[in-house]
Each structure stands twice: as C-alpha cells, then as structure tokens.
Chains A and B, each alone.
Chain A
Amino acid sequence: MSAARFLPGLAALLLGAVLARAVELTVGFNHLLVAIALGFVLANAVGVPDRLEPGINTHKLWLGAGIVLMGASLTLETVLEVGGLVLLVVVGVTTLTILVVELLARNVFGLADQLGSLLAAGSGICGVSAVVAVAGAIRAREEQIAYAAATVLLFDAITIVVYPIVGDLLGLSDVVFGVWAGVSMFSTGPVVAVGFAHSEVAGQWATMAKLSRNALIGAVVIAYASYYARSGSASRPSVRTLWDEFPKFVLGFLALVALASAGVFSSAQQASIENAYNWLFVLAFVGLGTEIQLAELRSTGLTPALVVLLALVVASAVSLVTLSVLFGT
C-alpha cells in the first residue's frame, strides 16, 4: 500500500481548510461550517474524483486526533464542575431516544424489528458507527443497514443547519447549547462542528457530552445482542464486545485532560495544541462535507425518516428543557 495515494486527497483537505479559514478572516463566516459547505459542494457539484478519495477518507482520523488534542485545553476541575449532571442527562436522553424510536418503529409504524433497532442505535448513540456496530450484533440485512445509515446522514445534514439557527434564536448559553447538541444530535463530526461554530466553550461541552454518549455504544451493542440472541436471530455477546466497541480515542482525550490538569503544559504549548486541533477539525470537516451526498439522502425511506424525526424532536425538546432548568439559558 503506497502512502503516495493518500497525498492528492490530503492536499485537497488542506486546501479546503486554508480556504475555509481565509473565508472566515475575510467575510466572517464560521470556518467549520464553510469547511463542511466546501466538501458538500465538491461532492455534489462535481463529485469526488477517484484519486482524491483515499486521502479524503482519512477525515475521521483527523477528527479523532483533534478530539484527543482538545483534552489539553480542559482540566478535571472544569469537567467535574457540571460533568455529573451532564452525564445523567446523557444517559437519560440516550435511553429516551432509543425507547421512543423502538416504540414508534415497532408499534406505530410497523417497521421490521432490526431496522427499528438500527435507527434507535443510530439516533441514540453515535450515528452511522452505532448503526454498523449494532448491525453486526443483531444480524441485520444489508439493505436495512443502508436505510438506517442514510436516515442518520439525512438528519446529520439537517441538524448541522438547524441547530446553530435555533441556538442563536433562543440565545442559548455556551454550556446549554454545547450539551444540547452533544446529547441530541447524531454523529460526532456534526456535533463538534456546530458546537465550535457556536463558541469554543460550547464546542468543548458538545464534544464531551458526545464522547460520553459514544462510550455507551458497547453497553448498547451488548443489550441488543442479548435481546436478539433470545429470539435466536443473533449470537450471544461476550464481555470483550464492550472493549471492542469502546471508542479508544476517548482514552487519549482523557490522558490529555489529566496532563493538562497536572499543569504539564505551558500556556504557549497549550495555545499551539489548541491551534493544532482547530486545524485538524477544519481538515476533518472538509471531508465530512463530502459525505453529505444528496443522491444517497434521496434513497432514505419516508417512514424511517418520520420515526427518527419524531424521536429527534422529542429528545431535542426534552433535553433542551432539562438543560435550561439545570443550567439556565
């Protein structure tokens, strides 16, 4: 495997990142949203050329690395200040979302059990990654995976636009907006993007809330695998599943939170680390934009989209009210 095949795509990501930053400096639009828009235009106006694909597909690696580095700009004190309450909200909203999707899918709209479970995992935990992880555990069919993934991507695209508008209209505080996005939006990339587009603090809380949610994936996969194993349509899960599904970059993030809390980094070093993760995020979001492909979104079924829309509205409203009561707007 030649490293050279990644270079054209990486150069495209870098070019997009520099362009997004230049647009922010000259016109004032948020660089993260501009980065997503650039990727979106590339993918939907001309299509991503084959030779750019390997490099552009590395965008999740840069997002993970950016999240790891973000740990250096936080301290345990900040996290513990409101972290306990946030964790409770994360667990509560995740459970609520999964239950609402399952209930609507099975009892109201009559979708297949497996498709309902994939939609529930995708909306409750971490988007397409959760869909794929749960699909393996419940032996879902290929077309069900594609349907669920397309539905999650559709709502990723919608929430990237809607959340910042609602956040500004309601004048939400940084903590409330960040945690709200972190507990109710679907995939990690869009959560980080709208969080940091609102403010630095909102971005940090959005990411922390989302990471806590992502960390629940192992438990959810085990729960689903156990449930479907009883009906004979899946194999029994092992404890190893918990570790296999755990998002490992969270460990890197926590290690940097610990180092920053111990005062290992000077302020100059912290500023450089902060700038590094800002660049990594812009790189990642150019790639994320290329994943929003209108042709694929059109293949989303109306009923799955309606189920997820209703669950999103419920989870979003409940979490926003809860957070506003807990932290004020």
Chain B
Amino acid sequence: MESTRLHRGVVAVRSRWADLERDWQSVAVGATTVAAIAIFELQIPW
C-alpha cells in the first residue's frame, strides 16, 4: 500500500517535471540546491 502511494507520488512529480519549460526546470534545480544548502547546512566542496 505504502509503495503504491510512493510510486504514484513519483509518477506525479515526474509528470509535473516533464511539463515544465526548461528555464523553469533550471529555476527548480537552483531552488532545490539552495534549499538543501540552507536547511541541511550541506557543504559542497570544490
């Protein structure tokens, strides 16, 4: 049951992602990266 719900969630996210223009996908990647760095204090090495 749990896995079905998870699968549906993944399908929904993938479908939303595919509908986005590439520019908005870039904004989403940027926003997700900033959120991960800010919330989890993620350290990205260079």
Which A residues are closer than 8 A to B by beta carbons? 1, 3, 60-65, 67-69, 72, 247-249, 251-252, 256, 265, 268-269, 272-276, 278-280
Contact = CB atoms under 8 A, between A and B. Distances in A.
Interface residues of B, number: 22
A248 B42 contact: no
Contact of B26 (A65, A268, A274): A65
A60 B23 CA distance: 9
Contacts of A249: 23-24, 26-27, 30
A314 to B, nearest CB: 31
Contacts of A64: 22-23, 25-27, 29-30
B18 A1 contact: yes
20 contacts: A60-B22, A64-B27, A65-B26, A65-B27, A67-B26, A68-B29, A68-B30, A68-B31, A249-B24, A249-B26, A252-B26, A256-B30, A256-B34, A268-B41, A273-B33, A273-B34, A275-B46, A278-B46, A279-B44, A279-B46
A68 B30 CA distance: 6
B37 interface: yes
- Chain A CB within 10 Å, residue with most, of B14, B26, B33: B26
A267 B24 CA distance: 27
Interface of B: 14, 18, 21-27, 29-31, 33-34, 37-38, 41-46
A30 B42 CA distance: 26
Contacts of B31: 68, 252
Contacts of B34: 69, 72, 256, 273
A284 to B, nearest CB: 10
A250 B46 CA distance: 25
Contacts of A252: 26-27, 30-31
A274 B34 CA distance: 10
B27 to A, nearest CB: 4
Given A272-B37, A272-B43, A273-B37, A69 B25 contact: no
Contacts of B14: 1, 3
Given A64-B26, A248-B24, A268 B43 contact: yes
B36 to A, nearest CB: 9
A69 B21 CA distance: 18
Given A61-B29, A65-B29, A272-B43, 14 more contacts: A1-B14, A64-B22, A64-B29, A68-B26, A68-B30, A248-B21, A249-B27, A252-B27, A252-B31, A268-B43, A269-B37, A272-B44, A275-B44, A278-B46
Nearest to B42: A272
Given A61-B22, A276-B33, A265 B38 contact: yes
Nearest to B46: A275
Contacts of A1: 14, 18
- Chain A CB within 10 Å, residue with most, of B25, B29, B42, B46: B29
A279 B43 CA distance: 13
A280 B30 CA distance: 10
Nearest to B26: A64
B34 to A, nearest CB: 6
Contacts of A278: 46
Contacts of A62: 26, 29
A23 B33 CA distance: 26
A200 to B, nearest CB: 12
Closest 7 CB pairs of A and B: A64-B26, A68-B30, A252-B27, A248-B23, A65-B29, A275-B46, A275-B44
